[in-house]
Amino acid sequence: MARFGLSTLSNLWRGRGHDHPWQAPEASWHRPFGLGWTQPYTVRYASNLDDGPNHGMPLGGFGAGCIGRAPDGSFNLWHLDGGEHWFGTLPDCQFALFERDGESSRAHALAVKPTLDASRPDAGEPLNSWSWYPASTAEQSTGTYAARYPLSWFEHSKVFQAEVSCEAFSPILPGDYRRSSYPVAVFRWRLANPTKTPLDLSLLLSWRNTVGWFTNTDPSAAVTFRDDGSPEHNYVPAIGRGEGQRNRCLDAPGLKGVLLEGRRSEPLAEGEGQWCLVVPDDLEGVEVLRCSRWDPTGSGAEIWTPFATDGSIPDSNNDRRSTGSEQASAAIALRFRLDPGAVIELPVVISWDLPVTAFASGTRALRRYTDFFGPCGANAAAIAAEALRDWRDWRTQIEAWQQPVLERSDLPEPLRMALINELYDLASGGSLWTAASPTDPVGRFGVLECLDYAWYESLDVRLYGSFALLQLWPELDKAVLRSFARAIPASDATPRPIGWYFTQGKGRVEAARKLAGATPHDLGAPNERPFDATNYTAYQDCNLWKDLASDFVLQVWRTFKLAPSGEDLRFLADCWPAAVEALRYLKTFDANDDGLPDNGGAPDQTFDDWPLQGVSAYCGALWIAALEAALAMGQRLQLELGLDTSAEQREFGGWLEQSRANFDDLLWNGEYYRIDADSGTPVVMADQLCGDFYARLLGLPPVVADERARSSLKAIKESCFEAFEGGRLGVANGLRRDGTPLDPKGTHPLEVWTGINFGLAAYYRLMGETATALAITGAVVEQVYSGGLQFRTPEAITAAGTFRACHYLRAMAIWALWATHTGWQPIPGAALEA
């Protein structure tokens, strides 16, 4: 292992030189350290999740569980139980710095002072002996937080004499189906001495033993309903469970650290395993101190008093096991002297090995990273050791894959920033990535629609939100679509109440959970049997939806045609039978035999609070595009694999001819397409031609003529963008032609959906209207990243400053704009074979 020590490493670090202030890296989201928000967006429905704006970038691999460190320095996001969310600051999970310049000394934990726990007013002020880092104010900054996923930076200024900064990351690497799954975070600290006197410094990392915490103690799978009509399940993690925990010092070739362990069941249970804190063992001139156990529930003086005195901590290896609810934290400190003009770089690694994700039915899954480190839950040190060995290579690869985005000066910097940062949801969106099997060679993969609508890979949402996965990890995109292909023939007659009818005051209306041939809405929820028990959502009867079958077929053909790894005929053949069955099922809703499926009055498509009646522009255009895609699929399979698809081609061709003959006659009003044929609703629907966008994107015959597409886009721009709040928010879903609302109290029509806006912007770009595309995207990005919604991008925002459904999958549709703007410019690594 290379030696780390005191040197001049400025060429290895984009940061502050002695003559220049620290600059946030290009295309990063950044904010003064600890500065509060004056008027952030707040949640629209009281029952929906709103943790406030203090969100930073997640750390940890896809499906491995992740942690998040906020712009005020606190570790407050803990997504360590697959598909579940816990948000709360553990003050003792923190870095701290001691400094002495010969005349005076100072020590601060590198986060702002934690607030009192309102749920436990008797608990008092946490760690009240600690000194906390001062927050920035409007008048003076004490540092900067910046993020460009999976990289984040903390810079601290005007408090210490040393120049202090930290870069944190995990190995999120396109096309790398191993390292992108790792449960690990690397913290690359840089400290420089710009003064004329030596500085004595000590960097502390303290961490709570949380082994055993992140498992649901209320495993009920019963469906209940929120005030917005959506189903939910209860999550009660075992926060504070301490019995059986122990911490012990770790010495291994190349590293020193501390292992945090807990009780172990046989077989290993959810939440059981290890945490590991390590540093290199060959840091020249650096003293490594370790305290394996201290009590984080009191004042914290036992660790803080010696640290604030001389940078030391009690050097002990107390590995006794906790009893009762006793809590245990561990700490590691790096103490050294920094001469004038010297710079030191200190890599610190946090890893975790919590290999099991359990579901309410008693089933369980191993996480993807166990394919490389084993399922025993005793390999946190091995994960950390690889990180210490390879972090420089990982960092170089991250820089390489981000470079094509950074170089696109024809895209505004805020858009480039959002392109990269919106990928955060692949880690913190409750992602599930299971170990591989013969049937699933890269494992099964899924991201929640959002934390409020906690079911995996909602198909109507991923029609937009899967563009990132397709372009960067195409084998995972295929894995998701194969899961849908298996689910389409399945059935489940279990009756369930439909939530929308409750919100309409219509009482209890029940429907079968899943009918054979119906394309499922989602791949199930983390409290049931995801991938096997589909259609968890019960807000609407998804068996009646008129977009899902088309969504499936279009995504299969899109992934086949556009995946950077090339065309995969085996994948196409695997999905073909399900595509045929799905389209035949959807055709049964053609009530008047005009070739086009009819919407039924109750909301039955992705705008699931918006009733459509008869043939609709949204569902009809998707249907026509899907038939074109199915014909292309059948032709390729027959020509290249010898499958006899002639009967299906004749069938789909007949439907297509009939549908095309009637679509414009039923819906074109001379300027744009009516929302539907039968309701008479006089609005311009923003996403009326999503099907035409997909057809053009995939090189299929367009759904509508160019002049009608352009006329519709003009009406959408004028009515739903420019006339709605002057375009400052983005495009509203549906307004009258003069820009006024049909119903001032409406829900979906008056919302700006982030992912729909990004998809619509890609359509404008595809039609050559780049200025409009960038204006729409810029408006939405501004609202999200200036409104305290960063790293929790919602489905919807409103003119009243409210949002709905944060951590939303559809927002990754911003990668559709990258595809249309750059002509599918490849990202390094994405084309690698799994």
pLDDT at residue 408 tops 80: yes
The pLDDT score that the predictor gives to residue 689 is: 98
Q: What is the pLDDT of residue 638?
A: 98
Q: How far apart are CA 716 and CA 712, in angstroms?
A: 6
Q: Is the pLDDT of residue 13 over 50?
A: no
CA distances from 226 to 45, 544, 601, 659 (A): 9, 22, 23, 39
Q: Kindly state the DSSP code that residue 367 receives in the 8-state scheme.
A: B
- pLDDT exceeds 80 at position 436: yes
Position 270: which residue type? E
What is the secondary structure of 325-356 as a DSSP string?
A: T---EEEEEEEEEE-TT-EEEEEEEEEEE--E
What's the pLDDT score for residue 522?
A: 98
Average pLDDT in the 580-609 region? 96
> Is residue 561 over pLDDT 60?
yes
Which of the four pLDDT bands, split at 50, 70 and 90, describes residue 223?
low
Per-residue pLDDT at 231: 74
CB contact at 8 A, 649 and 634:
yes
Give me the pLDDT at residue 812, please. 98
The sign of the dihedral angle between the CA atoms of 484, 486, 489, 490 is: negative
Structure tokens at 448: 């929640």
List the single range of 45-49, 424-428, 440-444, 462-466 with lowest mean pLDDT. Answer: 45-49
Whether residue 808 is predicted with pLDDT greater than 50 in this model: the reply is yes
pLDDT band of 503, cuts 50, 70, 90: confident
Q: At what angle do helices 690-697 and 814-822 cross, to 10 degrees?
A: 40
Q: Report pLDDT digits (tens) over 278-325.
A: 999 999 999 999 999 999 999 999 999 999 999 999 999 999 999 998
In terms of DSSP H, where are the helices of 364-444? 370-373, 380-406, 413-421, 425-428
pLDDT of residue 361: 74
Mean pLDDT, range 534-547, rounded to an integer: 95
pLDDT, position 42: 98
Mean pLDDT along residues 550-555: 98
How many CA atoms within 13 Å lie on the side-chain side of 484?
A: 33
Q: Is the pLDDT of residue 344 over 50?
A: yes
Give every CB contact of residue 768 below 8 A, 6+ residues apart in sequence: none
Nearest alpha carbon to residue 54 among 29, 77, 71, 66: 71
- pLDDT given for residue 221 in this prediction: 59
Q: Supply 760's token pair.
A: 């619509």
pLDDT given for residue 117 in this prediction: 61
Q: What local confidence, expressed as pLDDT, does residue 116 receive?
A: 65
Where does the pLDDT of residue 124 fall: very low under 50, low under 70, confident under 90, or very high at 90 and above?
low
* CA 582/CA 208 separation, integer angstroms: 50
Label residue 504 by pLDDT band (50, 70, 90). confident
Weakest mean pLDDT among 43-47, 332-336, 404-408:
43-47
On average, the pLDDT of the chain sits at 94
Would you say residue 515 has pLDDT above 50? yes
Q: What angle do CA 83, 543, 433 make, to 5 degrees?
A: 25
Interval 172-204: pLDDT, tens: 999 999 999 999 999 999 999 999 999 999 999
Percent share of the chain, pLDDT over 90: 89
pLDDT at 258: 98
- Rounded CA-CA distance 698/825 in Å is 15
- Give one DSSP letter per residue of 123-134, joined into a string: G-STTTTSPBPP
pLDDT at 680 over 90: yes
Distance CA 519, CA 543 (A): 7
- pLDDT surpassing 60 at residue 663: yes
Threshold 0.75, pTM exceeds: yes
Average pLDDT over residues 802-821: 98
pLDDT for residue 6: 35
Residue 621 near residue 685, CB atoms below 8 Å: no
Q: Which amino acid does the sequence have at 785?
A: Y
With pLDDT > 70 as the criterion, what percentage of the chain qualifies? 95
In this prediction, residue 469 has a pLDDT band, given cuts at 50, 70 and 90, of: very high
Angle at 227 between CA 225 and CA 231, to 5 degrees: 25
The pLDDT assigned to 16 comes to 45
Q: What SS3 class is residue 426?
A: helix
612-650 residue pLDDT tens: 999 999 999 999 999 999 999 999 999 999 999 999 999
Per-residue pLDDT at 507 exceeds 90: no
DSSP string, 543-608: GG-SSHHHHHHHHHHHHHHH-TT---HHHHHHHHHHHHHHHHHHHTT-TTSSSS--EESS--SSST
Encode pLDDT of 29-71 as tens digits: 999 999 999 999 999 988 899 999 999 999 999 999 999 999 9
Average pLDDT over residues 399-424: 98
Residue 225 confidence class, pLDDT cut points 50, 70, 90? confident
- pLDDT surpasses 80 at 216: yes
* pLDDT tens-place string over residues 764-797: 999 999 999 999 999 999 999 999 999 999 999 9
What pLDDT does residue 40 have?
98
Q: What pLDDT shows up at residue 11?
A: 32
Q: Within 13 Å of residue 177, how many CA atoms lie on the same side as its CB? A: 24
The reported pLDDT for the residue numbered 14 is 37
H helical segments located in 215-374:
301-310, 370-373
Residue 12 has pLDDT above 70, yes or no: no
